[in-house]
């Protein structure tokens, strides 16, 4: 079974702190994604990566950056955390894009609170 | 713009009922459609994946159908149980990006 793990289930940070959220997958997937989920707004794509050192902006990249130095690991970085970044963050991975049998696998999520 | 909607937003049924959840997508050029389950405070668990060339997929008490021409997918849950209580999301895959619906929150009452 595909396993996607995230470094923390719950995280509390202060405004202005630099925050790192880590995601690791064990299925050699090329594609990795970071979403945030908020009540009433659903899942929104922040960034995705289709290969090592490659990244693409999603729908809401402002205030975030990402890093993909190894195929299995995709990091989300909040350079200076703000209260409006309090949210549930979900990481996902999938095989290469364009393949009809593509399927997305999610991690357990990180509930981030910024005070 | 590619959008996915789900109706109803919330549903409450007594145990044992059969039920249908609906998912609609505006752009019919999908590669596949995936149904997920999400328990409160948790990540998403994949339930079923329907390829664009398929009409339906089944897994246990779950059956998902896909009608690309009308831009609709349905998730049918047979003989519902309290353990089915969760939020159900659908996601359309367009070859590079996934577009998610807002979800249907299901409560199955014992």
Shortest alpha-carbon distance between residue B14 and chain A (Å): 26
User: In the structure, what pLDDT confidence band is assigned to residue A17 with cuts at 50, 70 and 90?
Assistant: very high
Best of B35, B43, B94 to substitute, by most chain A Cβ atoms within 10 angstroms, is B43
**Average pLDDT for residues A8-36, to the nearest whole number?**
95
Using a CB-CB distance cutoff of 8 angstroms, which residues of chain A are in contact with residue B93? 102, 104
Shortest alpha-carbon distance between residue A92 and chain B (Å): 9
Q: Strands B10-14 and B104-109: what pairing?
A: parallel
3-class secondary-structure state, position A84? helix
| pLDDT at residue B97, as a whole number | 78
- Smallest CA–CA distance from B46 into chain A, residue: A105
Q: Are A103 and B36 inside 8 Å of each other by CB?
A: no
Q: Which residues of B touch A (CB under 8 A)?
A: 31-32, 34, 36, 41-46, 49, 51-53, 89, 91, 93, 95-98, 100-103
pLDDT tens sequence across A63-111: 999 999 999 999 999 999 999 999 999 999 988 755 555 788 999 999 9
Sheet holding A19-25, edge to edge: A4-6, A19-25, A73-78, A64-70
Question: Above 80 in pLDDT, residue B92?
Answer: yes
Residues in chain B: 110
Neighbours of B51 (CB within 10 A): 16
Percent of chain B whose pLDDT exceeds 70:
100
Question: Above 80 in pLDDT, residue B60?
Answer: yes
For residue A71, the surrounding DSSP H or E stretch is: none
Per-chain mean pLDDT for chain B: 94
| pLDDT at residue A69, as a whole number | 96
Cross-chain CB nearest to B43 (options A48, A98, A108): A108
Q: Are A100 and B53 inside 8 Å of each other by CB?
A: yes
- Smallest CA–CA distance from A38 into chain B, residue: B102
């Amino acid at each position: 079974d595909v396993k996607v793990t995230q470094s923390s289930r719950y995280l509390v940070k202060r405004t202005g702190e630099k925050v790192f959220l880590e995601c690791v997958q064990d299925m050699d997937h090329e594609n990795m994604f970071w979403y945030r989920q908020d009540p009433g707004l659903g899942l929104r794509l922040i960034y995705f990566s289709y290969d090592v050192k490659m990244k693409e902006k999603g729908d809401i990249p402002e205030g975030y950056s990402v890093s993909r130095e190894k195929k299995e690991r995709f990091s989300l970085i909040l350079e200076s955390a703000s209260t409006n970044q309090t949210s549930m963050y979900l990481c996902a991975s999938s095989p290469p894009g364009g393949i009809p049998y593509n399927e997305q696998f999610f991690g357990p999520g990180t509930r981030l609170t910024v005070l | 713009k590619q959008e996915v909607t789900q109706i109803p937003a919330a549903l409450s049924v007594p145990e044992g009922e059969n039920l249908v959840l609906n998912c609609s997508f505006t752009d019919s050029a999908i590669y596949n459609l995936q149904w997920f389950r999400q328990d409160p405070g948790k990540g998403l668990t994949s339930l079923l994946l329907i390829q664009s060339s398929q009409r339906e997929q089944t897994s246990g008490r779950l059956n998902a159908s896909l009608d690309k021409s009308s831009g609709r997918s349905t998730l049918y849950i047979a003989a519902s149980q309290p353990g089915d209580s969760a939020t159900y999301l659908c996601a359309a895959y367009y070859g590079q990006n996934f577009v998610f619906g807002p979800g249907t929150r299901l409560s199955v009452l014992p």
